[in-house]
Amino acid sequence: MSLKFLVVDDSVTMRRIVVNSLHNLGYEDIVEAGDGREALIKLSADDTINFVITDWNMPVLSGLELIKAIRSDDKTASMPVLMVTTRGVKEDIIEALKARVNNYVVKPFTPQILREKIDQILATVAS
Amino acid sequence: MKQAINMSHLFEKLKDLKALFVYGEKLIPIIQSLVDFMKDTVPLLENINHSIADSTSKIPKASHQLNNVTSATELATTEILDLVDAVTKEVRGVEKSLKAFINSEEEKAKLFESLSPYIQGNPEALKIYEEIKLKVTAPQEINPLYESFTKIKDYAYNITLSLQVQDITAQQLAAVNHLIESVQDRLSGLISDLEINEVREFGNLSMPVPEGVTFDPNARYDKSDQNQQNVDEIIKAQSETTTQDEIDKLFS
């Protein structure tokens, strides 16, 4: 399956780091968004996007609200979503899981962790 | 008789007056020390008022400077990322050329080896063959160079990863700004209660916090694996709980 990633983060630096990491992992098809609302616009405009990597703390629409919006739309309900965030407290992780995030990475991340989580999600989706 | 009563009354009043003077004499040092205390305290209170006013007026500037630090570090980080990307691009180019060169040299070596049977018995040709053989670059001589460039590319990528610190410190600074904003609100309330006119001279005290700034107050740059391990354990525990819940639902 060819993957097209949507990387959502309000920090330009973080977006570039995630995109560079994806390039290093061999993924080339990547689009970006600066907040949850922009991400939803891109998702509705491009149905070839099939993997979302999102931050939590963002203006306009947070990562958590983005996941809820993705899950509530029939077209994107089964979209694989990986959260990459600084928020590492138990309550936050449980809240994200309740919103049905597929996996969770805390910043600062390593490329190994990113690869591992993407692979785990893809394996779950495939099964 | 009436005169005698009046005199007695007058003496009583004089007695009272004397008592009052005696009491007054005792009271005067206390009043004096009170006045002295007030003399000392009033400038101190004025000083406190001025300090509050001064601090309050400086808070927006401090907050503005913190925002500037965030913007400057983001700009600097972008510049570093641009340079790292440029280095990586160059290194990839060199890597590609080196790989092509290694492949070409390997092919040359193979072709050269195939020439060997045809020149056996010809000492002159063999001599030239041996000389040329020494000049053909062996892949094992270039491979370390190729590996060095791969390492440079990895180091450059590690610089990129370390720049995650910018996002994390930006969130920490935003948290500090939020804290400053709370202090500013409290001080503004205090000033309003004390009616410090002086503060109004400082003009607009509104905070220059950019709109839509979101942050994690607990953000920290910790490169240990512990944080991710904690997250993984929580996810594992939650998924096990969920699975059990689902099983329970099925059998209920």
Q: How many domains is chain A built from?
A: 1
- Residues of B with CB below 8 A from A14's CB? 164, 167
Confidence of residue B143 (pLDDT cuts 50, 70, 90): confident
Residue A28 sits at the chain B interface (C-beta within 8 Å)? no
DSSP per position, B96-131: HHHHHHHHHHHHHHHHHHHHHHHHTT-HHHHHHHHH
Residue B149 has pLDDT above 70, yes or no: yes
| Element housing A53 (H / E) | strand A51-54
Within 44-73 of A, beta carbons closer than 8 Å to B belong to 56-60, 62
- For residues B56 and A37, the model is more confident at A37
Asked if A111 and B219 come within 8 Å (Cβ–Cβ), the reply is no
pLDDT of residue B198: 52
Could you give the ipTM of this predicted complex? 0.86
Q: Which of B37-46, B82-91, B193-202 is the least confident region?
A: B193-202
- For residues B187 and B246, the model is more confident at B187
Residue B173 sits at the chain A interface (C-beta within 8 Å)? no
> If you count them, how many residues does chain A have?
127
Asked if B167 and A107 come within 8 Å (Cβ–Cβ), the reply is yes
How far CA B27 is from CA of B16, B32, B34, in Å, comes to 16, 9, 11
What 3-state DSSP class applies to B29?
helix
Residue B60, preceding peptide bond in cis (omega within 30° of 0)? no
Asked if B164 and A107 come within 8 Å (Cβ–Cβ), the reply is yes
Strands A81-85 and A5-8: unpaired
pLDDT of residue A65: 97
Task: Give CA–CA dist B252/B246, Å, rounded.
Answer: 10
Find the CB nearest A86 among B216, B223, B228: B216
Question: CB–CB of A44/A69 below 8 Å?
Answer: no
Average pLDDT over chain B reads 82
Within 76-95 of B, beta carbons closer than 8 Å to A belong to 77-78, 81, 85
pLDDT of residue B243: 57
Q: Please, what is the angle between helix B123-135 and helix B2-119, to 10°?
A: 170
The arithmetic mean of pLDDT across residues B106-128, rounded, is 86
Task: Give CA–CA dist A23/A26, Å, rounded.
Answer: 5
Residue A10 sits at the chain B interface (C-beta within 8 Å)? yes
Q: Which of A85-99, B71-85, B126-140, B163-177 is the least confident region?
A: B126-140
Residue A25 sits at the chain B interface (C-beta within 8 Å)? no
Confidence of residue B220 (pLDDT cuts 50, 70, 90): confident
The arithmetic mean of pLDDT across residues B162-191, rounded, is 87
Other CB atoms within 10 A of residue A30 CB: 19
Residue B217, preceding peptide bond in cis (omega within 30° of 0)? no
pTM, whole model, 2 decimals?
Answer: 0.75
CATH number at residue A59: 3.40.50.2300
State the number of CA atoms in the 13 A half-sphere of A10 facing the CB. Answer: 20
pLDDT of residue A49: 97
Q: Give residue A56's domain range.
A: 5-126
One-letter identity of residue B75: L
Strand partners, A33: A8
Distance from CA of B204 to the nearest CA of A (A): 26
Task: Give CA–CA dist A57/A62, Å, rounded.
Answer: 6
The arithmetic mean of pLDDT across residues A97-123, rounded, is 95
Confidence of residue A64 (pLDDT cuts 50, 70, 90): very high
pLDDT of residue B2: 73
Question: CB–CB of A88/B230 below 8 Å?
Answer: yes
Strands A5-8 and A30-33: parallel
Question: CB–CB of A95/A67 below 8 Å?
Answer: no
- Residue A35, token pair as written in the block: 């907040």
Confidence of residue B158 (pLDDT cuts 50, 70, 90): very high
The arithmetic mean of pLDDT across residues B40-67, rounded, is 83
Residue B234 sits at the chain A interface (C-beta within 8 Å)? yes
Residue A11 sits at the chain B interface (C-beta within 8 Å)? yes
> If you count them, how many residues does chain B have?
252
Our CA angle for B131, B142, B150, nearest 5°, is 175
Q: Which residue has the tokens 């993924």?
A: A27
Q: Please, what's the b/e burial string for B14-50 (b: 16 or more CB within 10 A of its CB; e: otherwise)? A: eeeeeeeeeeeeeeeeeeeeeeeeeeeeeeeeeeebe
- For residues A76 and B107, the model is more confident at A76
- Residues of B with CB below 8 A from A64's CB? none
- Residues of A with CB below 8 A from B222's CB? 108
Task: Give CA–CA dist B247/A13, Å, rounded.
Answer: 44
Other CB atoms within 10 A of residue A91 CB: 9
Task: Give CA–CA dist A31/A19, Å, rounded.
Answer: 9
Average pLDDT over chain A reads 95
Distance from CA of A47 to the nearest CA of B (A): 29
- For residues A58 and B42, the model is more confident at A58
Distance from CA of B70 to the nearest CA of A (A): 11
Other CB atoms within 10 A of residue A119 CB: 12
Distance from CA of B231 to the nearest CA of A (A): 7
Distance from CA of B79 to the nearest CA of A (A): 10
Asked if A106 and B231 come within 8 Å (Cβ–Cβ), the reply is yes
Other CB atoms within 10 A of residue B246 CB: 9
Find the CB nearest A59 among B161, B164, B214: B214
Task: Give CA–CA dist A102/B208, Å, rounded.
Answer: 38
